[in-house]
Amino acid sequence: MDKRIALRDFSLLIALVLIAIYFYSQDPRFLSARNLAQLGIELAATAVLSLGMLLVILPGHIDLSVGSGVGLIGAVAAVLISNQDWGAPPALLVTTLLSLLLYTGMGWIIMKERVPAFIITLGGLLVFKGVHWLVIKSETVAVAPGNQQNLYSALTTFYLPQALGVALAVLCIAALGLAMLRTHRLRTSRGFASDGEMVFLRWFLASQVVGLFVLVMSQYKGVPLAALLLGGVALLVHVLLQQTRLGRYLYAVGGNEQAALVSGVPVNKVVIGAFALMGVIVALAGFLQTAFAGATTTTTGQLMELDAIAACVIGGTSLKGGQGTVVGVLFGALIMAMLLNGMTLLAVSPEAKFIARGLVLALAVWMDVRLSQSRTA
């Protein structure tokens, strides 16, 4: 096995281990079941949003509005439930449709009017944040009044029982193995290189991670619902990218838009579709983030777009498009979540947190540039 390939594939896992060792040495509570369960819930919103960002970056675009979108959509749902006495299901459905409409519209403007995504989504960032503040009247709006519990707050307060968690883990490991085996055989049958040993090693490591996660969660209250939602979104995005025509088109457009257009790829529809999917994912991330905080405020969703972009780039997604994987993005999001969780546990000042996030983002972009240069050299 080529050592250079092995190092590239497992460097993120090594980074995670080193980060965990450092924070554990500073405070043993970092690896406690309670804190890891909290980390799983904190990770959910950022990782879900990062998967949506992956769909937008793959065809060579960017979305700076998602953080403000998370705040706005979560706020609208909270206001409908808490102030307008809507039930949680209709409120979540209406706000999801609103988010879908907003992001589909932005995608349409970007492709039909040929306006750079950077400008349109930057405008969306400002507009969404302003409307968010208007919706909540610059005040704090609780997800549920008093101690009342509903479907919205259950997103981060419900835990799957241990037996069901173990059964689900076994199913996930089996499904992952079958999917990876199918992909390996398909690539081999079409003449593409695919290392069977590497495929097995990746499956084995993924299985260990899933099993360890369920075991640790069982030490506390069980597998959080938020983690299950993240797993479901990750599976859907993985299948979309690896098993569907839209997924192949996203990679093709990002690799060479003109060549894809000449080859008959409906570039406009593909990119608009990516932004539409981003709208649905922003809605889910908004629900998770607001439910985790228990309320929506003027700072909900702040800078989440930068965390999502950093997670993608850390995970190997190229900002130029055409390259990126779900597994890489999940690792990148976990690195960001572990850093923030560890710094919070150590009572690091907000100023230092901002500096750390900025340095991680700058380092991630630098790595992307260097790797791009090495690939073209």
Q: What is the pLDDT of residues 72-97, one digit of tens each?
A: 999 999 999 888 888 888 989 999 99
The torsion angle over the Cα atoms of residues 213, 216, 220 and 225, rounded to 10 degrees, is 10
Domain residue limits at 349: 3-139+150-161+222-376
In this prediction, residues 306-328 reach a mean pLDDT of 89
pLDDT at position 371 is 62
**Token output for 18:** 């080193």
Residue 211: inside a domain, yes or no? no
Residue indicated by tokens 């060579």: 60
CATH classification of the domain holding 262: 1.10.3470
CA 129/CA 258 separation, integer angstroms: 35
Residue 80's contacts (CB-CB under 8 Å, 6 or more residues apart) are 86, 91, 94, 95
Calculate the alpha carbon distances from 167 to 65, 174, 199, 303 in Å: 38, 11, 24, 37
Q: Is residue 40 part of a domain?
A: yes
Cα end-to-end distance, the chain, whole Å: 23
Residues 212 and 40: beta-carbon distance below 8 Å: no
The count of structural domains within the chain is 1
- Measured CA to CA, the distance from residue 257 to residue 253 in angstroms comes to 4
Determine, yes or no, domain membership for 189.
Answer: no
Q: For residues 47 and 237, is the Cβ–Cβ distance under 8 A? A: no
Is the Cα dihedral 181, 183, 186, 190 positive or negative?
negative
Q: Is the pLDDT of residue 271 over 50?
A: yes
User: Could you give the 3-state DSSP secondary structure of residue 223?
Assistant: strand
Whether residue 36 lies inside any domain: the answer is yes
20: burial class by Cβ within 10 Å (0-12, 13-18, 19+)? Answer: middle
pLDDT at 113 over 80: yes
Residue 5 confidence (pLDDT): 41
Rounded-to-integer distance, Cα 325 and Cα 237, Å: 9
Q: What is the pLDDT of residue 56?
A: 97
Distance CA 371, CA 200 (A): 26
pTM score, two decimals?
0.88
User: Could you give phi then psi for residue 134, rounded to 5 degrees?
Assistant: -65, -40
Domain assignment of residue 243, yes or no: yes
Highest mean pLDDT among 75-79, 129-133, 259-263, 358-362: 129-133
* 182 within domain boundaries: no
Region for 139 from its dihedrals, namely left if φ exceeds 0, alpha if ψ lies in -120 to 50, beta otherwise: beta
SS3 264: coil
pLDDT band at 144; cut points 50, 70, 90:
low
pLDDT per position as a tens digit, 202-249: 788 778 877 877 887 777 887 888 888 888 899 899 889 988 999 999
Q: What angle do CA 227, 367, 353 make, to 5 degrees?
A: 55
